[in-house]
Amino acid sequence: MRNKIDYGIDLGTTNSAIARMENGKPKVIQTDIQKDTMPSCVAINPRKMLHIQPILKIN
């Protein structure tokens, strides 16, 4: 039987975060650049690849 792992997702309008339970406490999963949150802006390109990028302000 597999171990059960609980995950929580905070879907914000600007940023989102994912956490999992470790030893009875929530632990935020960091991005590959050691950030606790990631931009909520996502897109799927024509080759069905997922892109998660920050929203850029254009003057």
Q: What is the pLDDT of residue 56?
A: 47
In tens, the pLDDT along 27-58 reads 998 877 788 888 776 666 787 766 665 544 44
Average pLDDT over residues 2-14: 81
DSSP string, the chain: -PPP--EEEEE-SSEEEEEEEETTEEEEPP-TTS-S-EES-EEE-TT--EEE-PPPP--
Q: Taking the domains of the chain in order of start, what are their residue ranges?
A: 7-52
Average pLDDT over residues 15-25: 89
Q: What is the pLDDT of residue 59?
A: 45
- Asked whether the predicted pLDDT for residue 6 surpasses 80, the reply is yes
Q: What is the pLDDT of residue 15?
A: 85
